[in-house]
Structure 1
Amino acid sequence: MASPYDPVATDPPLLDRNSEIKTYTTSRFTYPGLRIFYRRHQQADRLPKSPAPIPLLVFIHGLGGSVAQFHPLLTSLTSIASCLAIDLPGCGRSEFSVRQWEAYTTDALVELLETIIEDYREKEDGQGVVLIGHSMGASLAALLASPRLPPRTQLHDHVAGLIAVCPTSGFSSQKQIMVLTALLWVPEIIFNLWRAWDKRGGSQSASVRRFVGADADPEAKRLQDLYNNQAITSVWRRMAWGCLPTHVKGVTKGGLPSKETWEKLNVPVFLVGGEDDRVTPPQEIAKIRDFLQEVKTTPDTISPGTSVLADSAAPVDINAAASKIDAMTSLGQGEENTRESEDQKPVHRTQVAEPEEGADDPVTPTEQAASLPSLSLHRKKIVRSIIMGKPATHALLYTPSTVRILAGLISDFMVVHITGRLDLGWQLQYLSRDGKWDVKNLQKWQAVEPVSEPIGGIFRAIKTLREVDEDHSPSEFVKKWGGVIKDVIDISHDNPVYNPQGLEKGGIHYHKFPTVSKVPPTDAEIKGFIELVDKVRDEQKERAKRENWGEEHYIGVHCHYGFNRTGFFLVCYLVERCGYTPEAAIEHFAQSRPKGIKHAHFKDRLYVRYSGLRSEAIAEH
């Protein structure tokens, strides 16, 4: 049985379905058993490839981290670009089979990352990459983006931008190097004893508080405890040792990048820090900005409640968006800007994953060409930085109160300073020519009632929204239903044909729970859906008190039309949480959503599931 900290057992579906285990060989080492997450943009072949495809987004975790820490960002960003993330050797789901300490130096890891990225980058088409690094991963990203001597690959020529989250400026003094060196001389058995003591109390331990803060929400603490227990001491020690520079005849070599590396960067750079970060304090960003010779010297600060999500219902206005980013970087002039005001609402984590084919109304080739954002292959240095206000910590990647705003900041920066082709609204309009939105299916969709009557006092079944629809777009949905439908769970398999940020900006929280059409959900999917609804209902109770809601509030659930998969999941919840019999739940759904569950095999599976009779064939599926 897998331990509660087994990364395989705890992988979310998005990571599990798009990961593979591979072996890579560099000039010095062979690294077997590496977990590689790669999800190609599902509409990549339909989007323009001149002068190059949309950049590949590459995610690099830090010391003791893993791909799983990027999951909240990946659920948002896989909808706009192909995404690649790597568990470094011995981290997350990757094997710890290479024991040589030299295999974990920054130079060795950068060469490994270069090798993997070049394996996935669409080199023949000249695809660029955007590097997104967290903590030490930001340092590795800086080394990848900076020209290296001698060059092992030409990857740095194709770096379109660098986003550094909670970065470190390197070792600023010999004393820091001496302290870390002394720590690494401590025998591993003693180091493990200290770690065990530091982790006492699980999610309430000192090791958790160090990263997420004492007042973090339970989910952030749970995740940090999980990641702390996944970290292997032997791997941590090797990577920490590999961060140390060496001195040969008075010349410093290797280790974390310092001023000389950062100042060579000639790409758009976005630095993001957390005011409450105790691991890499926000002062590190000021140092790096000085290295980059950035003109601005005022620390940029934004509170977690501030809305920075890009308007994506139409092709992005680059100049207007640039003004918004520049306005954000002027924040931080006073203490009031580092706190969340009482009337500001925290931005919720939006999970956008998986694109349903096609989109909306036809767009002519002439219109497409006219609205095609530029994709320059010759970028210039642009530096922007933001300090997210309290409670942003080193764990802002996966803390619910901060991760959504981080996703919005990253998206806005990429759209403004890298290419407008990374704007989801523009992509939806460009692609809205055929697929599921041909005339026949469009008419069928239009004939379906948008929102059902209440179901079990908890749900409303809805049909998928449509970005450019006059009556059932996100903006119209917020106007009509935002007062009572407070969350939307999207169970369609692919990316939605609407921009979920339109719901988020209207105060409706969006959750992605992808499932396959025409096939009854599996036991694991049913369990996951029920747990998600339980969590959303608990959150709604807190939001209702905080935001003074009325008594009536619901969770909207949709697949494509809101009948079969939606009905199946809602019936399961009514049976397992609300005391309905299967017959009563199926009938209640049909009364609230006329015609109800249409697929006979879906209803058959429900009856079998709750009959108490379980066959091996069903259990296996």
Structure 2
Amino acid sequence: MASPYDPVATDPPLLDRSSEIKTYTTSKFTYPGLRVFYRRHQQADRLPKSPAPIPLLVFIHGLGGSVAQFHPLLTSLTSVASCLAIDLPGCGRSEFSVRSWEAYTTDALVELLETIIEDYREKEDRQGVVLIGHSMGASFAALLASPRLPPRTQLHKNVVGLVAICPSSGLPNQKQIMIFRALLWVPEFIFNLWRAWDKRGGSQSASVNRFVGVDADPEAKRLQDLYNNQSNSSVWRRMAWGCLPTYVNGIAQDGMPSRETWEKLNVPVFLVAGENDRLTPPKDMAKIRDFLEAVKTTPDTINPGTSVLADSAAPVDIGAIGSKIDALTSLGQGDESAQEGADRERVQQSQVSEPEEGADDPVTPTEQAASVPSLSLHPQKVVRSIVMGKPATHALLYTPSTVRILAGLISDFMVVHITGRLALGWQLQYLSQDGKWDVKNLQKWQAVEPVSEPIGGIFRAIKTLREVDEDHSPSQFVKKWGGVIKDVIDISHDNPVYNPEGLEKGGIHYHKFPTVSKVPPTDEEIRGFIETVDKIREEQKERAKRENWGEEYYVGVHCHYGFNRTGFFLVCYLVERCGFTAKAAIEHFAKSRPKGIKHAHFKDRLYVRYSGLKSAATEEL
């Protein structure tokens, strides 16, 4: 049986299905058994490729981290671009087979990252790269993006943007480095004893609280405890050692990025910090901001879960984030000008923006006719920074109360400063022309009732929304159902044919849980769905108190039409959490969603699953 901290067993379906184990060789080392997550945009071949495809988004974790920490962001951003994420050697699901300490120096890992990125980047089409790094991963991203002195990376020529989440500013002095190196040379069994002591209490331990804070919600603490237990001490020590620079004649060499590295960045940069971050506090981000721009400005502070975003003292409405990106401080430029606001509005309306002076590869007349936003191979440098207010900590990228805001901020930054082609709304409109991307059978879909009657007092089965539909688009859904349906779980395998931001802005939380059609869900998928619903229901209880809901609120679930896969999962939940028999649950679903589960083999599998007997197939496994 897998341990509770087995990274394979705890991978969500999105990560598990789009990951592979590969071996890569750099100039000095061969790294076997690396987990690489790659999900190509499902409509990449139907989107414009002149002068280049939409950029590849690359996610880089930090010290002791893993790809799994980016899962909430990947859930949002795989809908708008191809996404790549790597478990560094010995981290997450990657093997710890290379023992040499030299293989874990910052320069060695940066070379490895570049090798993997170049393996997936569509080089022949001149695809650009947006680097999204967390903590030490932000430092790796800066080294990849900066045209620094040897050892030199060539990837910087193709980097079109950098997002640094909870970045570290800096270089310890020579005395501090001596102390750090001495601590890291402590025998590993002593180091492990200290870690065991630090992790006493599990999700309530000092180790967890250091990352997420004492008052963090239970889900954030559970995840942090999971990640802490997945972190390998031997790998942690090697990476920590490898990031320390050496001083030659008083000048730091190698290791973490210096001021010079940050100063040489010449791409759009977005810096994000958490007010309650004890590991890389906002002052670290402020130093980097000063490296990037000589003009000092004060970043905004946003507080998750409250009302409006207007200035540094005002709290923020999660749903308003998408339309309020202009409130971010532009370093060296002061407040946004009227012209910049007009340019942004044109991007949001999916119109062609004029190429900036000096920018290469303007859009072609054909693309202008199709209302395609411009895409430059070398976007102009701009620096944006923001401090996310309490309770944002070092774990803000996977803490439920902050990750939705973070996803919206990153998405809007890329749309405004890198290319409007990364706007999901524009993609949906473009692909809906001439039926390039729409529901499978429009007439059949239109004939299906949009929303079922209540199911078990918990659910409403719905058909997939459609961005361009007059009656069942996200905006119309919010108007009709936002008062009672507070969360939507999308279990379709493909990217949705609607923009989930329309739901989020209306206060309905969107969750992606991809499954394959025509095939009954696996045991692992059933377990994952039930756990997902459990978490949503717990969150709904807190939201109901905080937002003063009425007594009636539901979780909407949809595949394509909302019958077979949707019915299968809801029946499983009713049986395993609500005390229904399989027969009663199937009949209840059919009454609430007339015709019910149509696939006979789905119903057969449910009866077998809850009969108490094992099928022959199960016994063979």
Report the TM-score when normalising by structure 2.
0.89
Q: State the AA in 1 paired with 2:414.
A: M
Does the C-alpha gap of structure 1 residues 307 and 619 become closer, same or farther in structure 2, counting only changes over 3 Å? farther
**Alpha-carbon offset, residue 578 of structure 1:** 2.2
Does the C-alpha gap of structure 1 residues 111 and 367 become closer, same or farther in structure 2, counting only changes over 3 Å? closer
Instruction: Map 1:95-494 to 2 at 5 A.
Output: 95-150=95-150, 154-305=154-305, 306-307=316-317, 324-329=324-329, 369-432=369-432, 433-434=434-435, 437=438, 441-494=441-494
Q: Distance in 2 between matches of 1:570 and 1:5?
A: 27
Relative to structure 2, which stretch is displaced further, 575-584 or 49-58? 575-584
**Alpha-carbon offset, residue 250 of structure 1:** 4.5
What is the count of residue pairs matched by the alignment? 577
**Alpha-carbon offset, residue 249 of structure 1:** 4.5
Q: 8 Å contact 2:330–2:383 — kept in the other structure?
A: no
CA offset digits 1:279-314 (Å, max 9, x no partner): 0111011111111125342132111132466898xx
**Alpha-carbon offset, residue 531 of structure 1:** 2.1
Q: 8 Å contact 2:133–2:163 — kept in the other structure?
A: yes
Aligned to 2:544: 544
Does the C-alpha gap of structure 1 residues 111 and 504 become closer, same or farther in structure 2, counting only changes over 3 Å? same
Q: Distance in 2 between matches of 1:34 and 1:405?
A: 31
Q: Distance in 1 between matches of 2:257 and 2:193?
A: 31
Relative to structure 2, which stretch is displaced further, 464-473 or 508-517? 508-517
**Alpha-carbon offset, residue 116 of structure 1:** 0.8
Q: State the AA in 2 paired with 1:406.
A: L
Does the C-alpha gap of structure 1 residues 394 and 480 become closer, same or farther in structure 2, counting only changes over 3 Å? same
Q: State the AA in 2 paired with 1:202.
A: G
Three-state SS of the structure 2 residue aligned to 1:260 is helix
Q: Distance in 2 between matches of 1:535 and 1:251?
A: 50
Q: 8 Å contact 1:167–1:271 — kept in the other structure?
A: yes
Does the C-alpha gap of structure 1 residues 602 and 142 become closer, same or farther in structure 2, counting only changes over 3 Å? same
Aligned to 1:582: 582
Aligned to 1:338: none
CA offset digits 1:411-456 (Å, max 9, x no partner): 0110000011110001111111326747x81111111111111122
**Alpha-carbon offset, residue 5 of structure 1:** 1.1
Q: Distance in 1 between matches of 2:239 and 2:572?
A: 47
Aligned to 1:361: none
Q: 8 Å contact 2:437–2:497 — kept in the other structure?
A: no
**Alpha-carbon offset, residue 617 of structure 1:** 1.3
**Alpha-carbon offset, residue 150 of structure 1:** 4.1
Q: Distance in 1 between matches of 2:442 and 2:56?
A: 32
Does the C-alpha gap of structure 1 residues 620 and 118 become closer, same or farther in structure 2, counting only changes over 3 Å? farther
Q: 8 Å contact 2:188–2:234 — kept in the other structure?
A: yes
Please list every run of 5 or more consecutive structure 1 residues that lacks an aligned counterpart in the other structure: 313-320, 332-364
Please list every run of 5 or more consecutive structure 2 residues that lacks an aligned counterpart in the other structure: 306-315, 332-364
Q: State the AA in 2 paired with 1:399.
A: T
Q: Distance in 2 between matches of 1:369 and 1:82?
A: 25
Three-state SS of the structure 2 residue aligned to 1:511 is strand
**Alpha-carbon offset, residue 264 of structure 1:** 0.6
CA offset digits 1:524-563 (Å, max 9, x no partner): 2222222222222222222222222212111111111111
Q: Distance in 2 between matches of 1:106 and 1:412?
A: 31
Q: Distance in 2 between matches of 1:554 and 1:156?
A: 47
Aligned to 1:30: 30
**Alpha-carbon offset, residue 380 of structure 1:** 2.2
Q: Distance in 1 between matches of 2:494 and 2:153?
A: 35
Three-state SS of the structure 2 residue aligned to 1:257 is coil
Q: 8 Å contact 1:132–1:141 — kept in the other structure?
A: yes
Three-state SS of the structure 1 residue aligned to 2:280 is coil
Q: 8 Å contact 1:563–1:597 — kept in the other structure?
A: yes
Q: Distance in 2 between matches of 1:309 and 1:130?
A: 25
Q: State the AA in 1 paired with 2:523.
A: D
Aligned to 1:517: 517
Q: 8 Å contact 1:310–1:411 — kept in the other structure?
A: no
CA offset digits 1:336-379 (Å, max 9, x no partner): xxxxxxxxxxxxxxxxxxxxxxxxxxxxx978744211110122
Report the TM-score when normalising by structure 1.
0.89
Q: Distance in 2 between matches of 1:96 and 1:582?
A: 45
Q: 8 Å contact 2:431–2:437 — kept in the other structure?
A: no
Does the C-alpha gap of structure 1 residues 223 and 294 become closer, same or farther in structure 2, counting only changes over 3 Å? farther
Q: Distance in 2 between matches of 1:46 and 1:515?
A: 23
Instruction: Map 1:64-75 to 2 at 5 A.
Output: 64-75=64-75
Is 1:82–2:103 an aligned residue pair? no
CA offset digits 1:121-164 (Å, max 9, x no partner): 10000001000111111111101001143465521100001110
Q: Distance in 2 between matches of 1:156 and 1:620?
A: 51
Does the C-alpha gap of structure 1 residues 574 and 308 become closer, same or farther in structure 2, counting only changes over 3 Å? closer
Identity %: 86
Q: Distance in 2 between matches of 1:294 and 1:310?
A: 31
Aligned to 1:357: none
**Alpha-carbon offset, residue 93 of structure 1:** 1.1
Does the C-alpha gap of structure 1 residues 437 and 56 become closer, same or farther in structure 2, counting only changes over 3 Å? closer
Q: Distance in 1 between matches of 2:410 and 2:237?
A: 31
Q: 8 Å contact 1:171–1:177 — kept in the other structure?
A: no
**Alpha-carbon offset, residue 495 of structure 1:** 1.0
Kindly report the root-mean-square deviation, in angstroms, between the aligned alpha carbons of the 2 structures.
2.0
Q: 8 Å contact 1:310–1:408 — kept in the other structure?
A: no
Three-state SS of the structure 2 residue aligned to 1:127 is coil
Q: Distance in 2 between matches of 1:250 and 1:173?
A: 9
**Alpha-carbon offset, residue 260 of structure 1:** 0.9
Q: 8 Å contact 1:452–1:460 — kept in the other structure?
A: yes
Three-state SS of the structure 2 residue aligned to 1:102 is helix
Q: 8 Å contact 1:274–1:281 — kept in the other structure?
A: yes
Q: Distance in 2 between matches of 1:300 and 1:480?
A: 35
Q: 8 Å contact 2:133–2:141 — kept in the other structure?
A: yes
Q: Distance in 2 between matches of 1:546 and 1:167?
A: 32
Q: State the AA in 2 paired with 1:149.
A: L
Three-state SS of the structure 2 residue aligned to 1:9 is coil
Q: State the AA in 2 paired with 1:423.
A: A
Q: 8 Å contact 2:70–2:398 — kept in the other structure?
A: yes
Q: Distance in 1 between matches of 2:12 and 2:577?
A: 23
Q: 8 Å contact 1:7–1:230 — kept in the other structure?
A: yes
Does the C-alpha gap of structure 1 residues 185 and 608 become closer, same or farther in structure 2, counting only changes over 3 Å? closer
Three-state SS of the structure 1 residue aligned to 2:8 is helix
Three-state SS of the structure 1 residue aligned to 2:472 is coil
